[in-house]
Amino acid sequence: MSDREVFEPLARGALVPNLASYRRLHARSLEDPDTFWAEEARNLHWKQPPPSGAPLLTYNLDPSRGQVFTRFMPGAITNVCYNALDIHVLRGNGDRVAYFCEGNDPKDVATVTYKELLGLVCRFANVLKKHGIKKGDSVLICMPMVTEAVVGMLACARIGAVHSVVFAGFSADSLAERIYDCRAKIVLTVFAFWRGTKLIELKNIIEDALHKVETKYTYKINKCIVLPHINTVATANGGDPKVRASWNNARDLWWVDECETVDNFCQVEWMDAEDPLFILYTSGSTGQPKGVVHTTAGYLVYASTTFKYVFDYKPSDVYFCTADVGWITGHTYLVYGPLANCATSVLFSGTPFHPDNDRFWDIIAKYRVSIFYTAPTAIRSLMKFGDEYVKRHDLSSLRILGSVGEPINREAWLWFRSVVGNNKCSIVDTYWQTETGGHIITPLPGATPMKPGSASFPFFGVEPTLLDDNGAIIKGPGEGYLVFKRPWPGIMRTILNNHKRFQETYFAKFPGYFFTGDGARRDQDGYLWITGRVDDMLNVSGHLMSTAQVEGALAEHSAIAEAAVVARPHPIKGESLYCFVTVNKTHRFDNVLAQELKKLVRDKIGAFAAPDEIQNAPNLPKTRSGKIMRRILRKVATGDRDVGDTSTLADENVIEELFANRRP
Ligand code: WT7
């Protein structure tokens, strides 16, 4: 990793054409944020603009001065769905393609225009209304990457319902916890779907989850609306023997049937600027998921503005974001950001490896994609198949490449640029979080000279600061905690039903600042390099989870007395889970137990959380006060004997034992 390796930006005729104009605009956005954001908000529709003279962005980030809050455009009235669809149709762009839908099977394709999408959304919004959904009600969406997932989200936004999308790879336990936490009234899902060659019987997972919701939390949802997707009603009645049919006549409804009996127009519900738009769960360091709440006006303006500048979006572009709708990237840069800009996107529901390892490249060539946004873990896993898979396809339409989810290593960055981008594309390494709503540190493709692995500079209105352990500001080159002195319109507003936890998680460590949980380094040119999480969080293939969450799952096994989990660097996944378990006196550690524990974590959290290694640890390295020293466990996991200072350990002999039982 070299600080001095620099690549010139390649996007010609960009909205922000050079570094000087970025610097000028950024300075202006900090000096007078209200003018900057008012200008950006002008492209959107406001049923009622904010009262004149009132400040647009107000906040308090210091809990000692009262409640932490951020408000943007209070008093303004709008509707996010109206801005995503209606205005484009009204302005004569109804026939523009909103999504090229590409299924798991390359032959399974469809096109949806803005006008068609509006029709689908109106109908489905009426279905939700028919079943009693009103402004402020929660609707949980657990679906793969099908058009109807987007339809469900926009239908909620249209009528003021709050959607909570949960990734369709979570276990029934994780789902149940989320359904209950947001008190979802309706659940939207699909019967079954293919992920590569694997059939996922999602409705059955939902069934298990709903059973848990009723027995464990004594809560009941009203309706579950099911998209047949594949394996239609016929299958439910015994078509494909692989699919086990589970159906509850009093509660379950078929999506298609419901849409047949409703009106094809639905008036929008006009919303206050600070009304919630959606909840999205993210992992918390206690293991309890946090329902991150995003609101209307600030999120909309921020999603729209970041999409426009960071991808240098032009009406001639075709945009392809590979993120799942279940994550924040899917929300901001697959749905709201692109739609607010009337963009044409590819919505892909398969995997990069099916039917072969060139699926992404095939899609880029097929739709002449010009902006491609993906994750380092995908880049690394595709790299290993060799350049031929890429070279087989004409990728000359590409002009901008994006990366998100974790720090991108230099090797992957260079491969992305030279092999995928043929040395002709700018790369935007976008740093952000579920909490931030949109990009906060990122290059701009026409302006920022790129350093491989550096997310570079803050977006407009964003002011990053590095702090040391004592909370003192680090000026110039240095490394520390990444914090933000002021909010931007798209920052989260609270944790659902738990404002106290919101304040404690993000504002207690450094009062007056929003703390990301990440560390960063600033080099001599002012570039920021994200160094990763400084809290007990793990990032496996871009999925964030906490050590506590995995430890909690392991501890549920009757054989386990105690568990400690650390991240171990992994060539493809970025990080992988390495678990240390102490077995009860009544049990023995063996391979069977290790397999059971892996399965338990999958069942409790989801397949993406499956541990790579389980190590027998008759003793864990603890301080005299009983705190587990994860720093030492990380050294054991990587096989690094240089464990550093061990003087605070209660028993130093533990270290030898840990190394003796180490998994290769
Ligand atoms: C965490 C947030 C943002 C959408 C996907 C993940 C890490 C994300 C980068 C990047 C270095 C990154 C951070 C962050 N991260 N993007 N470009 N460079 N690290 O959303 O699940 O909320 O995870 O992902 O550690 O805190 P998330």
pLDDT over 90 at 525, yes or no: yes
- CA 406–ligand 1 middle distance (angstroms): 5
In a domain, 623, yes or no: yes
Whose C-alpha lies nearest to ligand 1, atom 19? 406
- CA 539–ligand 1 middle distance (angstroms): 8
pLDDT over 50 at 237, yes or no: no
Residues of the chain with pLDDT > 90: what percent? 88
Give the model's pLDDT for residue 232: 42
Number of structural domains found in the chain = 2
pLDDT over 50 at 241, yes or no: no
- Do 233 and 254 contact (CB within 8 A), yes or no? yes
CA distance 534 to 463: 20
Average pLDDT over residues 29-50: 97
Q: Where are the alpha helices (DSSP H) in 416-526?
A: 499-507
Does 434 sit in the ligand 1 pocket, CB within 6 Å?
Answer: yes
In a domain, 549, yes or no: yes
pLDDT over 90 at 359, yes or no: yes
Beta-carbon contacts of residue 581 (< 8 Å; ≥ 6 apart): 554, 560, 562, 563, 589, 597, 614, 615, 616, 617
Question: Is residue 561 packed enough to be buried (19+ CB in 10 Å), middle (13-18) or exposed (0-12)?
Answer: middle
pLDDT over 50 at 233, yes or no: no
Give the model's pLDDT for residue 243: 55
Whose C-alpha lies nearest to ligand 1, atom 17? 431
Does 332 sit in the ligand 1 pocket, CB within 6 Å?
Answer: no
Give how far Cα 370 sits from Cα of 320, 357, 402, Å: 8, 20, 11
pLDDT over 90 at 522, yes or no: yes
Q: Which atom of ligand 1 is nearest to the CA of 329?
A: 4
Residue range of the domain that includes 168: 114-269
Domain termination residue (choose one: 238, 269, 300):
269
pLDDT band at 244 (very low <50, low <70, confident <90, very high): low
Average pLDDT over residues 10-34: 97
Q: Supply 252's token pair.
A: 């379950």
In a domain, 488, yes or no: no
Euclidean distance between the first and the last CA atom of the chain, given in angstroms as a whole number: 27
In a domain, 528, yes or no: no
440, 443, 445, 448 alpha-carbon torsion, rounded to 10°:
140
CA distance 386 to 357: 10
- Do 56 and 297 contact (CB within 8 A), yes or no? no
Q: Which of 155, 106, 99, 100 is nearest to 127 (CA)?
A: 155
Q: Which of 18, 33, 58 is nearest to 461 (CA)?
A: 33
Give the model's pLDDT for residue 537: 85
Q: Which of 146, 112, 152, 153 is nearest to 344 (CA)?
A: 112
Instruction: List the beta strands (DSSP E) in 296-417.
Output: 318-321, 344-348, 371-374, 400-403
Round the average pLDDT of the chain to a whole number and report it. 94
pLDDT over 80 at 640, yes or no: yes
pLDDT over 90 at 498, yes or no: yes
Give the model's pLDDT for residue 231: 46
- CATH of residue 570's domain is 3.30.300.30
**3-state DSSP helix/strand/coil % of the chain, to nearest 5:** 30, 25, 45
CA distance 487 to 71: 9
The phi and psi torsions of 634 (rounded to 5 degrees) equal -65, -40
Q: Which of 432, 428, 453 is nearest to 441 (CA)?
A: 432
- CA 435–ligand 1 middle distance (angstroms): 10
For residue 487, whether the previous peptide bond is cis, meaning omega lies within 30 degrees of 0, is no
Q: Which of 72, 193, 122, 92 is nearest to 489 (CA)?
A: 72
Q: Supply 42's token pair.
A: 């002008």
Q: Which atom of ligand 1 is nearest to the CA of 441?
A: 17
CA distance 321 to 302: 18
pLDDT in tens, 435-461: 999 999 999 999 999 999 999 999 999
Task: Report the residue among 544, 546, 549 best suited for mutation to probe ligand 1: largest number of ligand atoms under 8 A from its CB.
Answer: 544
- Do 310 and 428 contact (CB within 8 A), yes or no? yes
CA distance 334 to 326: 11
Does 379 sit in the ligand 1 pocket, CB within 6 Å?
Answer: no
pLDDT in tens, 600-614: 999 999 999 999 999
Give how far Cα 44 sits from Cα of 83, 220, 315, Å: 6, 38, 16
Does 433 sit in the ligand 1 pocket, CB within 6 Å?
Answer: yes
Cα 612 to chain centroid, rounded: 23
pLDDT in tens, 554-598: 989 999 999 999 999 999 999 999 999 999 989 999 999 999 999
Give the model's pLDDT for residue 25: 98
Give the model's pLDDT for residue 1: 52
pLDDT over 70 at 230, yes or no: no
Place of tokens 């009941």: 220
Domain termination residue (choose one: 212, 235, 269):
269
Average pLDDT over residues 222-234: 74
Amino acid 15 reads L
pLDDT in tens, 277-331: 999 999 887 778 899 999 999 999 999 999 999 999 999 999 999 999 999 999 9
pLDDT in tens, 476-486: 999 999 999 99
- CA 431–ligand 1 middle distance (angstroms): 6
What one-character-per-residue DSSP string does 43-106 give?
Answer: TS--SBPPPTTS-SEEEE--GGGS--EEEESTT-EE-HHIIIIIHHHHTT-TTSEEEEEE-SST
- Do 169 and 607 contact (CB within 8 A), yes or no? yes
- Strand 514-522 with 478-484, pairing: antiparallel
Q: Which atom of ligand 1 is nearest to the CA of 435?
A: 22
Does 533 sit in the ligand 1 pocket, CB within 6 Å?
Answer: yes
Q: Supply 481's token pair.
A: 């905690």
Q: Which residue has the higher pLDDT, 200 or 27?
A: 27
Does 539 sit in the ligand 1 pocket, CB within 6 Å?
Answer: yes
- CATH of residue 168's domain is 3.40.50.980
CA distance 334 to 350: 15
Whose C-alpha lies nearest to ligand 1, atom 12? 406
Does 436 sit in the ligand 1 pocket, CB within 6 Å?
Answer: no
Does 170 sit in the ligand 1 pocket, CB within 6 Å?
Answer: no
Task: Report the residue among 170, 432, 505 best suited for mutation to probe ligand 1: largest number of ligand atoms under 8 A from its CB.
Answer: 432
- CA 464–ligand 1 middle distance (angstroms): 15
What one-character-per-residue DSSP string does 392-423 give?
Answer: TS--TT--EEEE-SSPPPHHHHHHIIIIISTT
- CA 266–ligand 1 middle distance (angstroms): 37
Give the model's pLDDT for residue 91: 97
Which letter, b or e, does each residue of 511-538 get, where b requires 16 or more Cβ atoms within 10 Å of its Cβ? ebbbbbbbbbbbbeeebbbbebbbebbb
Average pLDDT over residues 135-158: 98
Average pLDDT over residues 45-63: 96
In a domain, 353, yes or no: no
Beta bridge partners of 110: 101
In a domain, 374, yes or no: no
Least confident of 219-228, 494-503, 538-547: 538-547
Whose C-alpha lies nearest to ligand 1, atom 14? 433
Place of tokens 């039903």: 497
pLDDT over 70 at 235, yes or no: no
Give this prediction's pTM: 0.93
In a domain, 359, yes or no: no
In a domain, 463, yes or no: no
Domain termination residue (choose one: 220, 242, 269):
269
Give how far Cα 551 sits from Cα of 1, 290, 394, 428, Å: 33, 17, 47, 35
Task: Report the residue among 1, 433, 442, 506 best suited for mutation to probe ligand 1: largest number of ligand atoms under 8 A from its CB.
Answer: 433
